[in-house]
Amino acid sequence: RDTKGKILCVFQGIGKFILLLVFLYFFVCSLDVLSSAFQLVGGKVAGQFFSNNSIMSNPVAGLVIGVLVTVLVQSSSTSSSIVVSMVASSLLNVQAAVPIIMGANIGTSITNTIVALMQAGDRSEFRRAFAGATVHDFFNWLSVLVLLPLEAATHYLERLTNLVVETFNFKNGEDAPELLKVITDPFTKLIIQLDKKVINQIAMNDETAKNKSMIKIWCKTFTNVTERNVTVPSPDNCTSPSLCWTDGLHTWTIKNVTHQENIAKCQHIFVNFNLPDVVVGTILLVVSLLVLCSCLILIVKLLGSVLRGQVAVVIKKTINTDFPFPFAWVTGYLAILVGAGMTFIVQSSSVFTSAMTPLIGIGVISIERAYPLTLGANIGTTTTAILAALASPGSTLKSSLQIALCHFFFNISGILLWYPIPFTRLPIRLAKGLGSISAEYRWFAVFYLVIFFFLIPLSVFGLSLVGWPVLVGVGAPVIFVVFLVVVLRLLQSHCPRVLPHKLQNWNFLPPWMHSLKPWDKLISASTSCCRRLCCRTCCLLCGCPKCCRCSKCCEDLQEEQGVPVKSPEAFANMAMDKEAQDGVPKSEVDASGTKTISSITAL
C-alpha cells in the first residue's frame, strides 16, 4: 500500500473498533432490557412460585422452582435476593433454600443458549456456538445430578457455610461495586425502570402486592413521620398510659403516622402510559430480542472482517494454545481466573458468556478453552453475590451471606467434579454432541430449550403440588428408563458383544423412536406448508401476479425451464462455499461466463 492506503487502512481499523464497542454496548443493554421484559411478563408468577411454602421442603421441587423463577425473570441475582428475603423473614430455612440456589444456577444459563440460536443461519457456526453455550447447561445439570442427592443426604453445603459464617466475624461493608451498570444504566433507565420489591412482597404472601404494577412511576419520594391523635378500640391499644385519654365516646392516643409524598416522576418511556405490565413486557421482549439479534449479527460480521487471514491465526493460537510442558495444566486454571475476573467486572455471568458465544461460533475461541472460562464466570457471579451480601443490613447479613456462600461452594464442588481430571470433562463431549445434532436438525435446539427449561421443570412442579408419593411414583420409572437407555447406549458403543444380537443396535424399535429423520421430515413438511400459505397470503394482499418471486411455484417453474438466476459475486461465493461444505457439486459456469446457482440458494 502507498501512504494514502495505509492511512485509510488505519482509520478503517479504528472505525471498526469503535463500531464494535457501540454494538457491544447495545448488545449488553438489550440483555438488561430483556431481563426487565421477562420480569414484567412473568415476575408475579415467579413470586407466586415462592409463596407456596408447603412444597419447599421437597428438594426436587425447590430445584425446579429455582429453574423456573430464574428463567422467568432472566436473572439469578433477582431469584437469589428473593430467597435471601424469605430466609431473613423466617419463611424459609437455609436447608430448603440450597436447592433453589442450585436451580437458579441452571436457569441463568438459558440466556447464552438463546443468544446461540441467533447464529442458526450458518450450520458450522451454529454447531460451535450452540455447543459453546450448552457446555454451561451440561455443567450445571451434571453438578446438580451429583450434588443435590449429596446435599439432601448430608447437608454439607449448609453445614460448611454455617461454619464459615460463624468462624469469621463478618461486618457490614460497602455496596458491591457496579462497574458495568454505571455505563449501561443511563441508557436502560430511559427505557424502563422496575420496582423489584413487588416480586419480594408477593413471595412474602403480601396480598396487596398482587395488584401493584412493577413499572416504577415515582423515582423521588419523601417520607414524612408526624404525631397524630387517633382513636383506638380500648385503652389497652394505647401507645402508653400517659398518652391515653377518653372524651366519653372514643378512646384517643398519640401515634406516629407515616405519610409518603411523591415528588418527581421517573424519566422512562412508559412512565405516562397506563399499560398493563404484560403488555409493556411483551413490547420490550420483542424489541430487545430484535436489537439483540441485530447487534449479534453485526458483531459477528465485524469480527469476521477483522479476524481473518494471519490476524485470525495469531489470535486463535494465542487464546487456544496451552503453556509449554510441564505447565500445560496451568492454562485451564488461568482461564478460570480470567473468566471469574471478567464476570466480576461486568457483574453478570450471562453478559460474559453471551458475549463469548459469537466468538466461539466464528472459531476464535475453542470449546475446550470456553469451558474453563465459563466455569470462571460461575465463580465470578458468586463473588459479586458475596460482596452484595456483605452490604446487607444487620438483620439479613447472616442469612444472605450463608446463601451466597452456598452458591459459591456449589460451583467450587462442581468444578472439582468435572474439571481437574481430563476424562471427567463430560460437559465438553455432551455439548459437542448436542451441537452436532442441532446443526443438522436446527429445530432440535428450540426443542431442547423448551423441554429442559420449561416442560420438565413445570411437570415436576405440578407433580410436587399433588404430593411427594405421586412425584416418586411417576419419576422413578422415567429415571429408570433413561438410565437403562444410557447403559445400553454405552454398551452398544464400547462392548456390543456382551449384548444379545437384537440389542446391539436400535433397529428393533420403530424409526421415530430412535432417529430424528422422521421427525425432521414432519417438521420440514409443516414449515413448508406454512411458508407457502404465508407467501400466497402475501401475494393476495400485495396484489402480486400468480407467479411471484416469493412463491414456491416460481422456483419450480424456473427449475423446470432451467432459467439461470444471476446473483452478486458475494452470494455466488457463499453458495459455492455452502455447496462445498455439504458435498454438493459446485455451480457450473455457462457458456457466457455467468455463474448460475439454484433459485432457492439465490433467494
| 3 state SS for 380-413 | HHHHHHHHHHHCCCHHHHHHHHHHHHHHHHHHHH
User: Does the structure show a pLDDT above 80 at 477?
Assistant: yes
Number of CB atoms found within 10 A of residue 250's CB: 11
Parallel/antiparallel/unpaired status of strands 251-265 and 218-232:
antiparallel
Lowest mean pLDDT among 124-128, 240-244, 508-512: 240-244
User: Residue 40 — very low, low, confident or very high, per pLDDT cuts 50/70/90?
Assistant: confident
User: Residue 597 — very low, low, confident or very high, per pLDDT cuts 50/70/90?
Assistant: very low
* Identity of the residue numbered 290: L
User: How high is the pLDDT of residue 590?
Assistant: 39
Mean pLDDT, residues 559-563: 42
Q: What is the distance between the alpha carbons of residues 248 and 235, in angstroms, rounded to a whole number? A: 13
User: How high is the pLDDT of residue 301?
Assistant: 79
Q: What is the distance between the alpha carbons of residues 402 and 405, in angstroms, rounded to a whole number? A: 5
Mean pLDDT, rounded, of the chain: 78
Answer for the pair 412, 379: CB distance below 8 angstroms, yes or no: yes
Mean pLDDT, residues 94-105: 88
H helix or E strand, kind and range, residue 220: strand 218-232
Q: What angle do helix axes 456-466 and 468-494 make, rounded to 10 degrees?
A: 140
User: Residue 177 — very low, low, confident or very high, per pLDDT cuts 50/70/90?
Assistant: low
Q: Give the residue, 435 or 310, on which the prediction is more confident.
A: 435
Q: What is the distance between the alpha carbons of residues 42 and 454, in angstroms, rounded to a whole number? A: 13
User: How high is the pLDDT of residue 173?
Assistant: 52
Burial class (CB in 10 A: 0-12, 13-18, 19+), 536: middle
Burial class (CB in 10 A: 0-12, 13-18, 19+), 441: middle
Report the DSSP beta bridge partners of residue 218. 265
Lowest mean pLDDT among 46-50, 175-179, 212-216: 175-179
Q: Residues with Cβ < 8 Å from 536, sequence gap 6 or more?
A: 551
Answer for the pair 344, 383: CB distance below 8 angstroms, yes or no: yes
Q: What is the distance between the alpha carbons of residues 272 and 217, in angstroms, rounded to a whole number? A: 8
Mean pLDDT, residues 125-134: 91
- pLDDT tens column, 229-247: 777 777 777 777 777 878 7
Number of CB atoms found within 10 A of residue 328's CB: 11
Mean pLDDT, residues 53-67: 81
Mean pLDDT, residues 146-155: 90
- pLDDT tens column, 285-323: 888 888 887 887 788 778 777 766 666 676 677 777 777
Widest pairwise Cα distance in the chain: 113
Alpha helices in 52-170 (DSSP H): 59-73, 76-88, 94-107, 110-117, 123-154, 156-167
Characterize 296-322 residue by residue with b for buried, 16 or more Cβ atoms within 10 angstroms of its Cβ, and e for exposed: bebbbebbeebbeeeebeeebeeebee
Coil, strand or helix: which one is 461? helix
**Residue the block writes with cell 492454562:** 331
User: How high is the pLDDT of residue 596?
Assistant: 35
Report the DSSP beta bridge partners of residue 261. 222
Coil, strand or helix: which one is 428? helix
Mean pLDDT, residues 343-347: 78
User: How high is the pLDDT of residue 62?
Assistant: 87
Q: Give the residue, 367 or 236, on which the prediction is more confident.
A: 367
User: Residue 545 — very low, low, confident or very high, per pLDDT cuts 50/70/90?
Assistant: low
User: Residue 372 — very low, low, confident or very high, per pLDDT cuts 50/70/90?
Assistant: very high
Characterize 10-22 residue by residue with b for buried, 16 or more Cβ atoms within 10 angstroms of its Cβ, and e for exposed: eeeeeeeeeeeee
User: How high is the pLDDT of residue 566?
Assistant: 38
Q: Give the residue, 169 or 143, on which the prediction is more confident.
A: 143
User: Does the structure show a pLDDT above 50 at 561?
Assistant: no
User: Residue 403 — very low, low, confident or very high, per pLDDT cuts 50/70/90?
Assistant: confident
User: First and final CA of the chain: distance in angstroms?
Assistant: 37
Q: What is the distance between the alpha carbons of residues 134 and 432, in angstroms, rounded to a whole number? A: 9
Q: Which three cell numbers stand for residue 111?
A: 440466556
Mean pLDDT, residues 526-538: 77
User: Does the structure show a pLDDT above 90 at 139?
Assistant: yes
